[in-house]
Amino acid sequence: MISSLVKELKYEKAFELFRDVNRDNGFTVDCFTISTLLTACSGCFALMEGRAVHAHAIRAGFETNLSVKNALIGFYTKCGSIKDVAALLERMPVRDIITWTEMITAYMAFGYVDLAVEIFDKMPEKNCISYNALLAGFCKNGKAVEALDLFVKMVEQGLVLTDFTLTSVVNACGLLMEAELSEQIYGFVTKCGFGSNACIEAALVDMWTRCGRMADAEKMFHRWPSDKDGSIIWTSMLCGYARNGQPERAISLFHLCQSEGRVVADEVMLTSVLSVCGTLGFLEMGKQIHGLVLKTGFSSDVLVANSLINMYFKCGNINNAITTFHATPLHDIVSWNTLIAGHLLHRQGDEALAVWSRMENSSIKPDAVSFALIISAYKYTNSNSVDSCRNLFLSMKAIYEIEPTSEHYASLVGVLGYWGFLEEAEEIINRMPFEPKASVWRALLDSCRIHSNTTIGKRVAKHIISMEPQDPSTYVLVSNLYSASGRWPNAEMVREDMRGKGFQKHPSRSWIIHQNKVHSFYVRDKSHPQEKDIYSGLEILILECLKAGYVPDTSFVLHEVEEHQKKDFLFYHSAKLAATYGLLTTRHGQPIRIVKNILICGDCHSFLKYVSVVTRREIFFRDASGFHHILNGQCSCKDYW
DNA sequence: GTAGGGTTAG
């Protein structure tokens, strides 16, 4: 009876019935029912119920039953702690190779890599499964180098390599993201004659995409037989496209998968495609997938829910994001972080801080990401609360016992810099207890751009370039810094320097979603089918804005050309093209929604403010800094971004 | 007892 209730997903009733039986000391439930109940408890994080079932199993003498034991390990791995799993295994009457291996897997699942290694070294006997368990554990914890070392040892010792071994090695290589090594590993796997093992093939697709070898990934993906279950390999490919800056392809793949109907979208695929919808700002599609999530019953999966919340925020729908958060039965730290990040994306610092207080009253403890986020919230508070920000930073270590990393310093520097405390920010970096990553200096350089401070900016840029001479983004920042302060010749010098070193700027791109399609524009892009309408529309728009007082700022043109040509470059920036397309394709009174992959330039920002006046339209512009909500000539970023 | 795809920041 209890088992059938669980099967029908009526957990509450099943637990109730179990409690009745449990109270009556004369009765015990059988091993199968105990296992079923434990699986149910794992599914809904019912720690108390699971513990009660465990106590019952001990009383009935079923703890050592193989299926009960496995269910208990599964339950404690998901809902409990490593102590629970360790205590359970300690009580097993026989400590054989299987128990030892289970210990390794458990320690690895909880992230205790050193303890797992200790157990492995202490084991009186080892076989290839124990090696595989350790190998997989390294991969699970991102220890690719350790995994590869172990693999080499296995080969040297002549151990039997199974499909499990090869899958883990492929995984390790994906973690390293090294294209050349991936070639070698692939050669090795082929030599071993892995045949058509689904796990290895899926791992290979994932590895290729992580190493940037999309053609190889596609080749393997297309070889997948259509009669075989493909949800995993399809998701690998979909995420691969997303990871390699091809979100449109990821969306097409999802459409294909839906229309062909042979691969059913599961919770992992839905999570991934929702993330892509967020990246693109694809609200309509995101809503449709939300419908699918509700229909398929995946809305209680916390990862799916978090991805939904994130999607709504990135698509500009704050209300749906918050409603989805409240509709989710179980929140983890990522749910809270997503909520905070969402408010920050909309520059709502006070709202983010309010969420922070609510989180502090919940049972969830903030993690390192929470702090990186909440420190940044002080950029967007209504009153200058730099003091509170400094205190929060200090409390990290003092109260929460989280050691600040470069990311946290970068957030703090960003806030101080934003409010104009550039010297203090520089001082903090110089006094950091460890070597700062380039990202910390970059946060300060960004502040120098905002405040047009070339004195500090130049110093900071030197640091970054010496640390990361290969990274073109610094040159762009320095160049923009000079441009923003009207020092055009210097900006061009930096550009020249960049060209001399063979760097190419990450191409700037803006897009609009219209009729379920992404309409993307680069600077001076003429590839759109409605190119003529867009360019003539933009001509008119520019004239209207000039009449209203718009003054083109040619310092944002990063090419050495004549003044009249500069305007030509400036007028056809991707943001302006996308905005015009948005005006042409939406009815009067409808807002325009644009997304840009990097920061919007100062001239486009000023232009869009005039556009909002002359067309009486509301503009939602999302760039790398967050949303610019432009209305009646004013922007929510207060012209600091 | 060991294997494949997922969410948040920068």
Average of pLDDT values for A576-584? 97
The letter for the amino acid at A210 is: R
Structure tokens at A410: 């970068």
The nucleotide lying nearest A135 (C-alpha to C1') is B2
Å between CA of A54 and C1' of B9:
39
Could you give the C-alpha distances from A107 to A103, A120, A168, A396, in angstroms and in order? 6, 11, 17, 27
Cβ–Cβ < 8 Å for A581, A528 = yes
Cβ–Cβ < 8 Å for A135, A168 = yes
H-helix or E-strand containing A629?
strand A626-631
**What does the pLDDT read at residue A71?**
83
Helical residues (DSSP H) of A485-632, grouped into ranges: 488-500, 531-548, 563-571, 574-585, 602-614
Is the confidence at residue A177, as pLDDT, over 90?
yes
Cβ–Cβ < 8 Å for A205, A186 = no
Å between CA of A241 and C1' of B10:
21
Å between CA of A437 and C1' of B3:
35
Å between CA of A412 and C1' of B1:
47
Is the confidence at residue A523, as pLDDT, over 70?
yes
The nucleotide lying nearest A268 (C-alpha to C1') is B6
Is the confidence at residue A311, as pLDDT, over 80?
yes
- Tell which strand B nucleotides have any atom below 7 Å from a protein Cβ: 1-10
Q: Per mean pLDDT, which range of A30-39, A152-161, A318-327 is the poorest?
A: A30-39
Is the confidence at residue A480, as pLDDT, over 80?
no
Average of pLDDT values for A292-305? 94
Of A15, A1, A16, A17, the closest CA to residue A45 belongs to: A15
Question: pLDDT band at residue A631, thresholds of 50, 70 and 90?
Answer: very high
Å between CA of A425 and C1' of B6:
37
Average of pLDDT values for A221-242? 93
In angstroms, rounded to a whole number, what is the distance separating the alpha carbons of residues A358 and A61? 44
Å between CA of A6 and C1' of B3:
29
Which single residue has its CA nearest the C1' atom of nucleotide B4? A199
Could you give the C-alpha distances from A116 to A84, A106, A107, A336, A606, in angstroms and in order? 16, 8, 5, 31, 58
Of A112, A180, A104, A178, the closest CA to residue A135 belongs to: A104
Cβ–Cβ < 8 Å for A131, A165 = yes
Tally Cβ neighbours within 10 Å of residue A403.
Answer: 11
Is the confidence at residue A514, as pLDDT, over 90?
yes
Query: Residues A443-478: pLDDT tens digits?
Result: 999 899 889 898 998 889 888 888 877 676 677 667
Å between CA of A578 and C1' of B9:
28
In angstroms, rounded to a whole number, what is the distance separating the alpha carbons of residues A91 and A87? 6
Tally Cβ neighbours within 10 Å of residue A414.
Answer: 23
Is the confidence at residue A352, as pLDDT, over 90?
yes
Helical residues (DSSP H) of A346-471, grouped into ranges: 349-360, 368-376, 386-398, 406-418, 422-430, 438-450, 454-467
Question: pLDDT band at residue A439, thresholds of 50, 70 and 90?
Answer: very high
- Percent of chain A at pLDDT above 70? 92
Could you give the C-alpha distances from A330 to A44, A334, A359, in angstroms and in order? 9, 11, 13
Question: pLDDT band at residue A94, thresholds of 50, 70 and 90?
Answer: confident
Q: Which residue has the higher pLDDT, A28 or A416?
A: A416
**What does the pLDDT read at residue A4?**
82
- Percent of chain A at pLDDT above 90? 68
The residues with which A511 forms a beta bridge, in sequence order, are A520, A595
H-helix or E-strand containing A181?
helix A179-191
**What does the pLDDT read at residue A356?**
97
Å between CA of A20 and C1' of B6:
38
Of A631, A604, A628, A635, the closest CA to residue A345 belongs to: A628
Average of pLDDT values for A570-588? 95
The nucleotide lying nearest A306 (C-alpha to C1') is B7
Question: pLDDT band at residue A44, thresholds of 50, 70 and 90?
Answer: confident
Q: Which residue has the higher pLDDT, A499 or A526?
A: A526
Average of pLDDT values for A614-641? 96
Helical residues (DSSP H) of A468-530, grouped into ranges: 472-484, 488-500
Is the confidence at residue A488, as pLDDT, over 50?
no
DSSP strand pairing (A619-623 vs A634-635): unpaired
- Produce one character per residue of A199-216: b if its CB has 16 or more CB atoms within 10 Å, e if not: bbbbbbbbbbbbbebbeb
The nucleotide lying nearest A439 (C-alpha to C1') is B10
The nucleotide lying nearest A372 (C-alpha to C1') is B9
Query: Residues A130-175: pLDDT tens digits?
Result: 999 999 999 999 999 999 999 999 999 999 999 999 999 999 999 9
- What are residue A30's phi and psi, to 5 degrees? -80, 170
**What does the pLDDT read at residue A458?**
86
In angstroms, rounded to a whole number, what is the distance separating the alpha carbons of residues A159 and A150? 11
In angstroms, rounded to a whole number, what is the distance separating the alpha carbons of residues A276 and A265? 15
Which single residue has its CA nearest the C1' atom of nucleotide B3? A164
The highest-confidence range among A9-18, A112-121, A470-479, by mean pLDDT, is: A112-121
Å between CA of A179 and C1' of B4:
20
Q: Is A366 helix (H, G, I), strand (E, B) or coil?
A: coil
Is the confidence at residue A274, as pLDDT, over 80?
yes
Structure tokens at A290: 């939300």
Å between CA of A206 and C1' of B3:
14
The nucleotide lying nearest A446 (C-alpha to C1') is B10
DSSP 3-state helix, strand, coil percentages of chain A (rounded to 5)?
A: 65, 5, 30
3-state secondary structure A294-344: HHHCHHHCHHHHHHHHHHHHHCCCHHHHHHHHHHCCCCCHHHHHHHHHHHH
Sign of CA dihedral A240, A246, A252, A255: positive
The nucleotide lying nearest A126 (C-alpha to C1') is B1
Structure tokens at A2: 């209890």
Query: Residues A194-207: pLDDT tens digits?
Result: 667 999 999 999 99
Q: Per mean pLDDT, which range of A7-16, A88-97, A164-173 is the poorest?
A: A7-16
Is the confidence at residue A91, as pLDDT, over 90?
no
The letter for the amino acid at A547 is: K
- What are residue A366's phi and psi, to 5 degrees? -65, 150
**What does the pLDDT read at residue A498?**
63
H-helix or E-strand containing A511?
strand A510-514
H-helix or E-strand containing A623?
strand A619-623
Å between CA of A160 and C1' of B1:
17
Which single residue has its CA nearest the C1' atom of nucleotide B1? A98
Cβ–Cβ < 8 Å for A558, A492 = yes
In angstroms, rounded to a whole number, what is the distance separating the alpha carbons of residues A314 and A330? 22
The nucleotide lying nearest A274 (C-alpha to C1') is B7
Which single residue has its CA nearest the C1' atom of nucleotide B6? A268
The nucleotide lying nearest A239 (C-alpha to C1') is B5
Average of pLDDT values for A571-599? 95
Which single residue has its CA nearest the C1' atom of nucleotide B2? A133
Q: Is A622 helix (H, G, I), strand (E, B) or coil?
A: strand
The residues with which A592 forms a beta bridge, in sequence order, are A619
Which residue in the block uniquely carries the two structure tokens 């897009």?
A: A511
Mean pLDDT of chain A: 90
Of A212, A271, A218, A205, the closest CA to residue A244 belongs to: A212
**What does the pLDDT read at residue A25?**
73
The nucleotide lying nearest A626 (C-alpha to C1') is B9
The letter for the amino acid at A10 is: K
Å between CA of A387 and C1' of B4:
49
- What are residue A74's phi and psi, to 5 degrees? -60, -45
Cβ–Cβ < 8 Å for A81, A73 = no
Which residue in the block uniquely carries the two structure tokens 């390699």?
A: A244
Is the confidence at residue A486, as pLDDT, over 60?
no
Å between CA of A209 and C1' of B6:
15
